[in-house]
């Protein structure tokens, strides 16, 4: 059975394009996640699944092309490097955005915890059997 290496190269190129589109969609998702928390993380997990499938398929095609058609593999090198740089830039922006989001969430959680402590101190919200009674000593 004859393998069409140029077809494999086209498939690999399409997978790299799909990976690039996926990285752009992940960035877009990061912007929208605050607005639409009802989706939870299901959309992100779907994008992550597509990412994993693409990278696995790319690795298989890369290995096949390097073993059997190294000259064809070298032809696509410049285009592939440009695409990978763009993907890397998108992933770096995504990493920064996720770190910022995590820090903001941590700060929000700390504020909620402090507010809970204040409510408990003044109103005894965690004590069911006692009624808070405050006396003003000036009167």
Q: Dihedral through CA 112, CA 116, CA 121, CA 125, nearest 10? A: 160
Task: Give the pLDDT confidence score for residue 104 in this predicted structure.
Answer: 83
How far apart (Å, rounded) are the C-alpha atoms in residues 18 and 95? 20
Six-digit token pair at 135?
């006396």
pLDDT tens per residue, range 39-64: 667 788 899 999 999 999 999 988 88
Q: Has residue 109 got a pLDDT over 60?
A: yes
pTM: 0.71
Per the document, the length of the chain is 139
Can you tell me the distance from the alpha carbon of 65 to that of 112, in angstroms, rounded to the nearest whole number?
55
Q: How far apart are CA 58 and CA 45, in angstroms?
A: 20
Sign of the alpha-carbon torsion through 105, 107, 109, 112: negative
* pLDDT attached to residue 60: 93
């Amino acid at each position: 059975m004859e393998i069409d290496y140029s077809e494999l190269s086209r498939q690999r190129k399409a997978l790299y394009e799909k990976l690039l589109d996926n990285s752009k969609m992940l960035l877009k998702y990061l912007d929208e996640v605050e607005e639409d928390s009802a989706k939870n993380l299901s959309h992100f997990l779907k994008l992550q699944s597509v990412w994993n499938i693409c990278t696995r398929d790319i690795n298989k095609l890369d290995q096949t092309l390097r073993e059997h058609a190294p000259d064809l593999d070298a032809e696509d090198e410049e285009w592939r490097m440009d695409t990978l740089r763009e993907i890397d830039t998108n992933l770096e922006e995504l990493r920064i955005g996720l770190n910022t989001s995590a820090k903001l969430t941590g700060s929000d959680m700390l504020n909620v915890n402090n507010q809970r402590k204040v409510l408990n101190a003044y109103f005894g919200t965690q004590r069911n059997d006692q009624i808070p009674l405050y006396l003003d000593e000036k009167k």
